[in-house]
Amino acid sequence: MHIVDRRLNPGGKSLANRQRFIRRAKSLIKKSVHEASGGRSIKDGDSGGELVLPGQGVREPSLRRAATGGIRDHVLPGNKDYVTGDEIPRPDGGGGGSGSQGSDDGGGEDEFRFALSRDEYVDMFLDDLELPDLAKRRIVNTEVVSYQRAGYSVSGSPTNLALMRTVRNSLSRRIALHRPKAEEIEQLRDEIAALAPDARELRATLEEELARKLRKTTLIPYIDPLDVRYKRFDPQPRPAAQAVMFCLMDVSGSMTEHMKDLAKRFYILLYIFLKRRYKNVDLVFIRHTHTASEVDEDTFFNSPETGGTVVSTALEEMRRVIADRYDPAAWNIYGAQASDGDNTASDNERTVNLLLQHILPSCQYYAYLEVGRDVEHFPPGFIRRDSDLWQTYDAVVKSGAPLAMRKVGHRRDIYPVFRELFARKVGSEAATA
Amino acid sequence: MSTTLKTPRPLFEGADWEFATVQRCHDAIQAIAVGEMGLDVYPNQIEVIGTEQMLDAYSSIGMPLFYKHWSFGKHFARDEAMYRAGMQGLAYEIVINSNPCISYIMEENSATMQTLVIAHAAFGHNHFFKNNYLFKQWTDADGILDYLEFARDYILSCEERYGETAVEALLDAAHALMSHGVHRYPRARATNLRMEEKRERERRLHDEQVFNDLWRTVPGQSSVRLDPTALERRRALLQLPQENILYFLEKSAPRLAPWQREVLRIVRQIAQYFYPQSQTKLMNEGCATFVHYKIMNRLHETGQLTDGAMVEFLRSHTNVVFQPDFDDRRYAGINPYALGFAMMQDIERIVTEPTAEDQQYFPDIAGTGDAMAVLRDIWANYRDESFILQFMSPRIIRQFGLFHLHDNADTPNMKVKAIHDEMGYRAIKRTLARHYDVAWNTPDIQVVDVDLAGDRKLIVHHRAMNKIPLDERDAKLVLQHLADLWGYDVVMKEIDSETDTLMKEHVASPRSGALGG
């Protein structure tokens, strides 16, 4: 008999099968991922999780008998009080308590439940997307220089002295040039001291020898400038590994729950996307009516406010937070603003100025999402007019400023719009993380 | 070894085990299984694996190596999700019908469980695999691992040459027909799996050698006379009617490439390999459970198993052979471990201490005295269906409270046709045996006719037993796959086998590029 220990065999033997399965079920999974994202908070939007797939696309059909109809005979265990000839009403489900047959045929695969890992989840979510214009702006903004060890050099600052290497060089030089060791000289001196007073000739030879060695010692230094080595550091440009995402939202009375839900979905997508590129992603929530304030996530989405709508207050607040905490040189700043498009007419100019002067120059990306009512509920014959804010921002975009804006009316549009905003452009340099 | 038996020293104490423990247990069990019970087994190879590896093994139907396909990933994903949610435990072992016989044991098992698993799988199942006539006839334990390796490599090379999509589409179609890809009756020659790779090469070589383009130009082929014998001859040439649909496609489908035929062949061979297992589930488990129960008791009697270990074993054993009643929420069919074990024990009782009833029902074996000899003979020469027909005693029917329920969809109520009384024993036995008859359980589907010179429409019949039609949704999907493989239209007629009337008809046309071009 052999006993084979297979525990240390590489795991994940069925990884290839799993990947094939996911590839096959991709469109189904994408849909589920999309739907599942609704019920999550922004922060755990990317933690993977359990998905439920409709059984159709991954069904394995076979030729088998139908579960109902026809004449069937069953043998069942556990008879208690039936006698031959009894009639029993047929239970619901048609299988008639048919045991193995019932469970074999009973289509247990109509829904298929399984768990995706975080990476698989995010990959599904963000397939083919990339951060816009990152390649261009990174040179200016998203790089910090860090120093990395890169071998040794013969010059450098004393703090970078490579002691081991220096001593090693010195040692090999001393051996090569036969520099007398301290012990040898000591031994010689001892020998001379121990000589009998009459051994003059021997004393003379030994003293000559000693003098020669001492001379050599001074000629060949213990450490020569030639030996000295310094640790060399190379400057390495590195993308800044942190980003901050500003969520701006109008919370005045005209924003319905539906609109907030749309905005939330968009924020989740953006957060997951950023999270994939950056190690740390900070979230800043700024809500505004006619005044703006920074709040936590829960308040942001859930507590209602009343008041007018002055968009510039939110931008002002964002500017203040950036100045306070997020130096654009060290942070990648992303802004996403959601609004139903209302703004006090007199505020538009100030909004544009703030955007152009302060916000856009410090941001990697700024997206404006106009959330509307479910389009299907619009009264027929009603012509939609572009909102105040849309017109204002539209002018900004036309002037060439890097601002992205989209309208979303229904939950199902969120994902396409997001994809549209971040779709990998043909020929553009892929932003490698 | 004899010293171990004389000195009643336990094989192990506590739950911990190491490789030496496993070796010791194996040797002690072997002494009982081979020496006392007279089992005849393949050499054992015991492999220790972890949880994830067990899940891996699950998803490739228990085989250590297998070709790649998304459906295995699907099973893995589902099993894993169930396992993590705590809804499903893992099996304690998996055993492979190969020579040497490979058993997987899980590292999490306690020492008692390892002993149980070795007794159950490495001796019980192992003996059954080696001796049962179905396994002898249909499977080649020496060659299966080599064949699986060949299959995996061949399919991998196909993926490289023809693309993953094309291979996947082909495998999807083949898997859908897998249940109808077995020969139910032995043909003239025995299958020799080990030679497959060589024969595949030879077949191709032969095709190339006999290829002569001139044959194409020989005149006179168009004059097909339609005399009455032509139909018969045509069917004879194509070996029709044919119930092995995959075999038929492999040999006769006009538009398949050679590699596609070979892949169909692989799927078919694997289906054939598992065919005996589906026919002997009850006996196989019954045999293994009986063997482990005997062995564990002997170990305990000889002092090699501590009382604590024995209690742990009994608890596990009782769970395994638990049979919930039909009206119990846990009921999911008849538990093959329970019924199999009960019948084996019952046979032992009939052989050693028969009652008058047994004398009447089983005159051949009642009171003959050597229970193991009778059981070994049964394990070698029966399958589930014949086993139940021959050896299910009235006592077992009473013990399980079996009753026969007749369910006709045309009547409002179901009817109890037989219970455990003198009149009912035979009816129950007959009906239950049918449940285990694979030929009765899988729908009877045959390729009946095809006109290769005409429109090449493939005609398939399903002879519906008891007016039970095929599951419509699945039948449509499978028929689509069949049409894709065949390359031309396929029509399936569902015929009531009693009245020969047409119940339903399904038609499918091949999709262009369905098999990846």
The pLDDT mean for chain B works out to 84
| CB proximity B78 to A under 8 Å | yes
Residue of B474, B484, B497, B498 to mutate, testing the A interface (most A Cβ within 10 Å of its Cβ): B474
The neighbouring-strand residues paired with A72 are B407
What is the Cα gyration radius of chain A? Answer: 38
Locate A380 and state its tokens: 């027929």
- If you ran DSSP here, which 8-state letter would residue B195 be given? G
- Most confident range (mean pLDDT) of A44-58, B8-22, B27-41 is B27-41
Residue A294's DSSP bridge partners are A286
Verify whether the Cβ–Cβ distance B326 to A87 is below 8 Å.
no
Same domain, A358 and A401: yes
Give the list of residues 6+ apart from residue B248 with CB closer than 8 angstroms, or none.
B238, B239, B240, B242, B447
Residues A402 and A301 in one domain: yes
User: pTM of the full predicted structure?
Assistant: 0.65
pLDDT of residue B3: 43
What's the confidence (pLDDT) of residue A405?
A: 82
- What's the confidence (pLDDT) of residue B64? 74
Does the pLDDT value for residue B92 go beyond 90? no
On whether residue B198 sits in a domain, the answer given is: no
Q: What is the phi/psi pair of residue A300, to 5°?
A: -55, -50
The answer to the question of residue A271 being in a domain is yes
| Domain boundaries, position B420 | 321-439
The verdict on B297 and B348 lying in the same domain is no
d(CA B293, CA A109): 36
User: What is the 3-class SS of chain A, one letter each residue?
Assistant: CEEEECCCCCCCCCHHHHHHHHHHCHHHHHHHHHHHHHHCCCHHHHCCEEEEEECCCCCCCCCCECCCCCEEEEEECCCCCCCCCCEEECCCCCCCCCCHHHHHHCCCCCEEEEEECHHHHHHHHHCCECCCCHHHHHHHHHEEEEEEEEEEECCCCHHHECHHHHHHHHHHHHHHCCCCCHHHHHHHHHHHHHCCCCCHHHHHHHHHHHHHHHHHHHHCCCCCCCCCCEEEEEEEEEECCEEEEEEEEECCCCCCHHHHHHHHHHHHHHHHHHHHHCCEEEEEEEEECCCEEEECHHHHHHCCCCCCCCHHHHHHHHHHHHHHHCCCCCCEEEEEEEECCCCCHHHHHHHHHHHHHHHHHHCCEEEEEEECCCHHHCCCCCCCCCCHHHHHHHHHHHCCCCCEEEEECCHHHHHHHHHHHHECCCCCCCCCC
Within a domain: A10: no
pLDDT digits (tens, 9 = 90+) for B243-269: 889 999 998 888 889 999 999 999 998
Tokens (6 digits) for A134:
């990152």
Q: Distance (Å) from the C-alpha of residue B138 to the closest C-alpha of chain A?
A: 23
Co-location of B434 and B482 in the same domain: no
**Interface check B461 vs A, CB under 8 A:** no
Residues A273 and A373 in one domain: yes
Under 8 Å between Cβ of A211 and A204:
no
> Does residue B47 belong to the interface with chain A, where contact is any CB pair within 8 Å?
yes
Distance CA A368, CA A406 (A): 7
Task: Round to whole Å and give the CA distance between B34 and B403.
Answer: 39
Is B167 contained in some domain? no
How far are the Cα atoms of A316, A339, A379 from residue A376, in angstroms, in the given order?
Answer: 35, 19, 8
Residue B505 is predicted with a pLDDT of 87
> What angle separates helix B281-301 from helix B384-391, to the nearest 10 degrees?
70
Please indicate whether, in this complex, the C-beta atoms of A84 and B19 are within 8 angstroms of each other.
no
Cross-chain CB nearest to B423 (options A84, A90, A99): A84
Q: Are residues A354 and A247 in the same domain?
A: yes
Q: Is residue B171 part of a domain?
A: no
Give pLDDT, residue A95.
41
User: What type of residue is B322?
Assistant: F
DSSP characters over B130-153: HH-HHHHHH--TTTHHHHHHHHHH
Residues A245 and A311 in one domain: yes
Q: Which of these three, B424, B439, B454, is where a domain ends?
A: B439
Structure tokens at A3: 């006993």
pLDDT at B113 over 60: yes
Q: Which of residues 17-46 of B touch A (CB under 8 A)?
A: 19, 22-23, 26-27, 30, 43-46
Q: Which residues of chain A fall below pLDDT 70?
A: 11-12, 27, 30-57, 92-144, 238-241, 277, 279, 373-385, 423-433
Are residue A371 and residue A320 in the same domain, yes or no?
A: yes
8 Å CB contact of B71 and A86: no
B369 domain-assigned:
yes
Give the pLDDT score at A432. Answer: 34
Predicted local confidence at residue A92, as pLDDT: 60
Flag whether A347 is in a domain: yes
Residue B441's pLDDT is: 79
The answer to whether B235 touches B449, Cβ cutoff 8 Å, is yes
Do A286 and A366 belong together in one domain?
Answer: yes
Is B507 touching A (CB cutoff 8 A)?
no
Largest CA distance in chain A: 139
Print the domain residue range for A327. 134-144+239-422
Which residues in chain B have Cβ-Cβ distances shorter than 8 Å to A103?
Answer: 332-333
Among candidate residues B388, B418, B439, the one where a domain is terminated = B439
> Which of A190, A216, A232 is the last residue in one of the domains?
A232
Residues 156-215 of chain B with CB under 8 A from chain A are: 164, 168, 175-180
A327 and A397 part of one domain = yes
Is residue A204 domain-shared with residue A333, that is, in the same domain?
Answer: no
Furthest C-alpha separation in chain B? 88
More confident residue, A65 or B389: B389
Q: Pick the residue with more confidence: B225 or A169?
A: A169
Contact: B325, A78; criterion CB under 8 Å: yes
Residue A399 lies in a domain: yes
Structurally, chain B folds into a number of domains equal to 3
Please check whether residues B8 and B128 belong to one and the same domain: yes
Query: Are residues B126 and B10 part of one domain?
Result: yes
Number of domain units in chain A = 3
For the record, the structure tokens of A432 come out as 């490698």
Q: Answer yes or no: do B421 and B307 share one domain.
A: no
Q: How many residues does chain B have?
A: 517
Q: Is residue A20 part of a domain?
A: yes
First to last CA, chain A: 52
Q: Are B461 and B449 in contact (CB under 8 A)?
A: no
Supply the DSSP string of B428-481, one letter for each residue: HHHHHHHHT-HHHHS-EEEEEEE-TTTT--EEEEEEEGGG--B-HHHHHHHHHH
Amino acid (one-letter) located at B126: N
- Decide if B206 is inside a domain: no
Q: Computed from CA positions of residues A347, A351, A357, A359, in that sequence, does the dihedral angle turn out positive or negative?
A: positive
> C-alpha angle with apex B462: B457 to B467, nearest 5 degrees?
145
Q: Which has more confidence, B76 or A181?
A: A181
Same domain, B384 and B453: no
Tokens 């693309």 locate to B163
Q: How confident is the model at residue B161 (pLDDT cuts 50, 70, 90)?
A: very high
Does the ipTM surpass 0.85? no
Residues B30 and B94 in one domain: yes
Note whether residue A286 is domain-resident: yes
Whether A153 is covered by a domain: the verdict is: no
Asked if residue B292 and residue B339 are part of one domain, the reply reads no
Better-scored residue on pLDDT, B22 or A375: B22
pLDDT, residue B502, reads 86
Please say if the pLDDT value at position B304 is more than 70: yes
Separation of alpha carbons B143 and B186, rounded Å: 19
Residue with the larger pLDDT of the pair A141 and B217: B217
Q: Which residue has the tokens 């319905």?
A: A256
Residue B182 is assigned to a structural domain of this protein: no
Interface of B with A in 391-420 (CB under 8 A): 400-409, 412-420
Helix or strand holding residue B494 (H, E): strand B490-496
Domain CATH number, residue A289: 3.40.50.410
> Given this model, what pLDDT does residue A31 score?
67
Residues A168 and A267 in one domain: no
Nearest CA distance, A118 vs chain B (angstrom):
15
B433 part of a folded domain: yes
Residues B356 and B292 in one domain: no
Whether B370 contacts B351, CB under 8 Å: yes
Tokens of B326: 């039909």
Helix pair B196-210, B258-279: axis angle to 10 deg:
150
Q: Are residues A261 and A410 in the same domain?
A: yes
| Residue B116 lies inside a defined structural domain of this protein | yes
CA distance A260 to A248: 11
- Say if residue B9 is in the same domain as residue B105: yes
The yes-or-no verdict on residue B344 having pLDDT over 90 is yes
Neighbours of B199 (CB within 10 A): 13
Q: Is residue B241 classed exposed, middle or buried when 0-12, 13-18 and 19+ CB atoms within 10 A define those classes?
A: middle
| Residue type, position B237, single letter | L
* Whole-number pLDDT of residue B4: 45
Residues of A in contact with B416 (CB under 8 A): 82-88
Question: pLDDT per residue over A226-245, tens digit each?
Answer: 899 999 988 877 665 677 88
Contact criterion met (CB below 8 Å) for A232 and A149: yes
Domain boundary among A168, A200, A232: A232
Q: Of A182, A197, A232, which one is at a domain's C-terminal end? A: A232
Shortest CA gap B205–chain A (Å): 33
pLDDT tens, position by position, A173-228: 999 988 988 898 999 889 888 888 788 888 888 889 899 999 998 888 888 888 99
Q: Does residue A369 fall inside a structural domain?
A: yes
Chain A residues closer than 8 Å to B56 by CB = 11, 13-14
- B127: distance to nearest CA of chain A, Å? 15
Same domain, B332 and B430: yes
How far is the C-alpha of B194 from the C-alpha of B150, rounded, in Å? 9
In a shared domain, residues B298 and B407: no
Q: CA A338 to CA A416: how far, in whole Å?
A: 17
Where among B439, B473, B498 does a domain terminate? B439
What mean pLDDT do residues B418-432 have? 88
Decide if B413 and A1 are in contact by the 8 Å CB cutoff. Answer: no
Task: Clarify whether residues A197 and A252 are in a common domain.
Answer: no
How much of chain B is in helix, strand and coil states, percent to nearest 5?
Answer: 55, 10, 35
